[in-house]
């Protein structure tokens, strides 16, 4: 039985080009900081990678800081600004309520260090009230951090408008673009942001390499202090293997427009079939702008965790907003913040398609989902009572 | 011409087992946090790696926190303790003067955040006066951080005794063991430390994986906030590929005792030949306890940078304490702190052997070094004046 991997927002399989490059890149094992011959290969691979990635995101090469991944990029952006502006009058931070844990937990940490943190509401359709947002930005706001696309629902946030509003009051703007790369067309220059986070492994590269776009002149204290790597913005010997794999995916972006449409057709068919064949389903964020690969649905009376494990037995990999699966006691805070009840979040399912997903996969997924949901609902207390099913 | 790589303290070539494992480990690309099938392979590889590495260093598996490398481990240790103890009476930090930049720069950062930082002197033989050290530890000392072995000179510091002294006054003890792993026999339990930093790529693994030993119960705020990975001590999707390569090197440790001796014989022959054949050479830290692979020498009237480039042209890779090569304006702060003059530090050369270094390499190195040093000295102003050499 072929495994159907519909969890591309969690991570992606490395592209064939990445597997092909492994050995060659690992051969460039020298330390890029060495000035003898063994450092030259890695150094030029690093320079090439920086150019590739800067072109992927629409930045200048020197505005790219390599990190170990998206979580580090997010931590660096927030803490980097905080420690630089700490002793100025700008001490107010604004984030949306649906940010990734690496933003949310960092915001809580900044609060413990004396920052004033406030949150921007996002409604059930994934919409932010821009007037309300504008009123939240203060003359003391240091940084606004709002993700470009949400990992759980795929909703796309109006970063260009928001960064303009923030800048009008002199605040900096960071966007977590980890989920956006390779799933929508954008450039950091066009968005007008000062900082933007990226991760290689969410777009068919290896784990271990991420990037932070740092617009020229943006105040930023390093998160990793030490050697002079990355122009003293991030210490530590560079992970050339993962960085080169990240850079290699740039070629794939030429196909992006076509792939966005392809995934949209599949995702829409998937949602259409599910809504048609299974009762008590609603799609979260359906009325808003969404990434074309993501679908987040609430299946009434179907515990996400149970569903996930049942689908897994049928060879289907998906995600859920249910508690435990995320290692936490509570179901998805982001879904709850959008107005879903605890039960709805617990009954939510995330499907995220990839560039190799096929119509066949979608159809088999719908068949299996229908079967599994029917079975789970039969064993629900409500059903048992009404249908007298004995266990 | 075969390249002679004598710069193993900067980085090491991945072991053959690492090259062999690349493709298999990259196949385990699932997210270890996923509870479906694609997460299970990576998760068990992660568990296996944690056990391997805990055995390498003499710790329990749950005391191992994976990081992106040595610099991150050092940053996590110092900042992790600082943020946890910030509002207690323990706000005093002690480090040796010869620590790696990832400790020194972090210490400066902590100072800017209100910590009181003091330094422990190390003399030219690499010796710390333990009585003087004991007097430096205060009832308010939060953490002492001293490296197990120095990257530039190879000198080994008396961590077991020092951690005992620190603990007597209730201070925590961290050791940067990055250069010690695979070069000397030790265990964190025996050293009695609370925290210890490691890096995979200094011991024949890939770049991108390091570890921090965190003794059970040690107060530690995460450096990367976010997901619950590493028992909420380090957020971010795990870099399984690099972590597995790190774990694979454990097998090599069975050969450690033999390799230590082998390298010592080679290093001693190298030093003996150099001292015999070239005048005006002194070995830094020769009277102290040193790693058996490292030799740091001062060659009078020979600029380290010029020497390095000349050796490079002859296919020999080494390191120097000279300015610029390290990307800084000043020659090695660690050598200067040990009492070398600016000129001595500028004229210093570091040779660091590896497990594959041979006697043949050593002999060719000595031949080339003699030739190059003679040539460089001929063009020195002093020589020109005395020998009337025209250019």
List C-alpha distances in Å: A67 to A280, B72, B208.
Answer: 43, 11, 10
pLDDT in tens, A124-178: 999 999 999 999 999 999 999 999 999 999 999 999 999 999 999 999 999 999 9
Q: How many angstroms separate the CA of residue A76 from the nearest CA in chain B?
A: 9
Identify the three-state secondary structure at position B14. coil
Q: Give the single-character DSSP code of A255.
A: G
pLDDT at A325 over 90: no
What is the predicted pLDDT for the residue at B296?
97
Q: In the CATH hierarchy, which top-level class contains the domain B4-12+254-390?
A: alpha beta
Q: Whole-angstrom Cα distance, residue B358 to residue A167?
A: 61
Q: Whole-angstrom Cα distance, residue B385 to residue A115?
A: 64
Candidate list A272, A317, A324, A366, residue with the active-site label: A324
ipTM exceeding 0.90?
yes
Q: What is the mean pLDDT of residues B69-93?
A: 97
Residues of A in contact with B241 (CB under 8 A): 206-208, 241-242
Contact A193/A214 with Cβ under 8 angstroms? no
Residue A39 CA neighbour count, 13 Å, CB half: 22
CB contact under 8 A, B11 and A19: no
Phi, psi of B120 (to 5 degrees): -100, 130
Confidence of residue B388 (pLDDT cuts 50, 70, 90): very low
CB contact under 8 A, B14 and A34: no
pLDDT in tens, A59-77: 999 999 999 999 999 999 9
CB contact under 8 A, B225 and A68: no
CB contact under 8 A, A224 and B12: no
List C-alpha distances in Å: A380 to A375, A386, A391.
Answer: 9, 10, 11
Q: With an 8 Å Cβ cutoff, is B249 touching chain A?
A: no
Q: What angle do CA B386, B388, B391 make, to 5 degrees?
A: 125
pLDDT in tens, A164-180: 999 999 999 999 999 99
To the query of whether residue A324 is one of the catalytic residues in this protein, the response is: yes
Q: How many angstroms separate the CA of residue A297 from the nearest CA in chain B?
A: 18
Residues of A in contact with B315 (CB under 8 A): 37
Name the CA dihedral angle for A203, A208, A213, A218, rounded to a multiple of 10 degrees: 160
pLDDT mean across residues, chain A: 95
Contact B7/A38 with Cβ under 8 angstroms? yes
Q: Which residues pair with B156 in a beta bridge?
A: B149
What is the predicted pLDDT for the residue at B116?
98
| Residue of A379, B21, B313 whose CA lies nearest to A388 | A379
| Residue of B202, B19, B68, B318 whose CA lies nearest to A236 | B68
Residues of B in contact with A319 (CB under 8 A): 34
B383 vs A312: which has the higher pLDDT: A312
Mutation pick from B43, B226, B232 vs chain A, by most beta carbons of A within 10 Å, is B226
Q: In the CATH hierarchy, which top-level class contains the domain B16-253?
A: alpha beta
Which residue of B11, B36, B240 is in closest CB contact with A237? B11
Residues spanned by CATH 3.40.640.10 within chain B?
Answer: 16-253
Confidence of residue A47 (pLDDT cuts 50, 70, 90): very high
CB contact under 8 A, B35 and A312: yes
What is the predicted pLDDT for the residue at A326?
57
What is the predicted pLDDT for the residue at A383?
52
pLDDT at B389 over 80: no
Residues spanned by CATH 3.90.1150.10 within chain B?
Answer: 4-12+254-390
Q: With an 8 Å Cβ cutoff, is A111 touching chain B?
A: no
What is the predicted pLDDT for the residue at A387?
43
Q: With an 8 Å Cβ cutoff, is A20 touching chain B?
A: no
Strands (E), chain B: 4-5, 64-67, 92-96, 116-120, 141-145, 172-176, 195-199, 210-214, 281-283, 294-299, 316-317, 319-320, 348-352
| Residue of A346, A350, A323, A345 whose CA lies nearest to A335 | A345
CB contact under 8 A, B71 and A14: no
* Percent above pLDDT 70 for chain A: 96
Candidate list B272, B317, B324, B366, residue with the active-site label: B324
Confidence of residue B384 (pLDDT cuts 50, 70, 90): very low
Mutation pick from A14, A208, A334 vs chain B, by most beta carbons of B within 10 Å, is A208
What is the predicted pLDDT for the residue at B231?
94
Closest B-chain CA to A22: B22
What is the predicted pLDDT for the residue at A385?
46
């Amino acid at each position: 039985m072929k495994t159907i991997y519909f969890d591309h927002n969690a991570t992606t399989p490395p592209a064939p080009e990445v597997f092909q490059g492994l050995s060659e890149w690992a051969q460039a094992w020298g330390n890029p900081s060495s000035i003898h011959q063994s450092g030259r290969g890695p150094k030029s691979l690093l320079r090439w990678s920086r150019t590739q990635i800067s072109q992927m995101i629409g930045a200048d090469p020197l505005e790219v800081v390599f990190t170990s991944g998206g979580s580090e990029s997010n931590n660096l952006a927030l803490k980097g600004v905080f420690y630089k502006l700490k002793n100025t009058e700008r001490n107010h931070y604004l984030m949306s309520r649906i940010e990734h844990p690496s933003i949310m937990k960092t915001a809580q940490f900044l609060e413990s260090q004396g920052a004033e943190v406030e949150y921007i509401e996002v409604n059930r359709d994934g919409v932010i009230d821009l007037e309300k947002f504008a009123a939240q930005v203060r003359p003391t706001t240091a940084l606004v951090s709002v993700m470009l696309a949400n990992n759980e629902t795929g909703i796309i946030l109006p970063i260009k408008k928001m960064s303009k509003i923030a800048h009008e009051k002199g605040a900096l703007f960071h966007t977590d673009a980890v989920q956006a790369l390779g799933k929508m067309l954008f450039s950091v220059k066009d968005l007008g942001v000062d900082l933007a986070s990226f991760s290689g492994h969410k777009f068919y590269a290896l784990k271990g390499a991420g990037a932070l776009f740092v617009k020229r002149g943006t105040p930023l204290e390093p998160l990793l202090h030490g050697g002079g790597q990355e122009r003293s913005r991030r210490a530590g010997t560079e992970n050339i293997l993962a960085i080169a794999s990240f850079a290699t995916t740039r070629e794939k972006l030429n196909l992006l427009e076509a792939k966005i449409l392809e995934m949209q057709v599949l995702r829409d068919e998937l949602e259409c079939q599910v809504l048609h064949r299974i009762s008590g389903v609603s799609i979260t964020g359906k009325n808003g702008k969404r990434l074309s690969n993501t679908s987040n649905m609430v299946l009434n009376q179907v515990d996400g965790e149970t569903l996930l494990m049942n689908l897994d037995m049928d060879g289907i990999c998906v995600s859920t907003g249910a508690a435990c699966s995320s290692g936490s006691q509570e179901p998805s805070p982001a879904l709850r913040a959008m107005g879903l009840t605890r039960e709805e979040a617990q009954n939510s399912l995330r499907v995220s398609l990839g560039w190799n997903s096929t119509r066949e996969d979608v159809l088999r997924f719908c068949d299996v989902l229908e079967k599994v949901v029917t079975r789970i609902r039969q064993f629900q207390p409500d059903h048992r009572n009404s249908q007298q099913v004995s266990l």
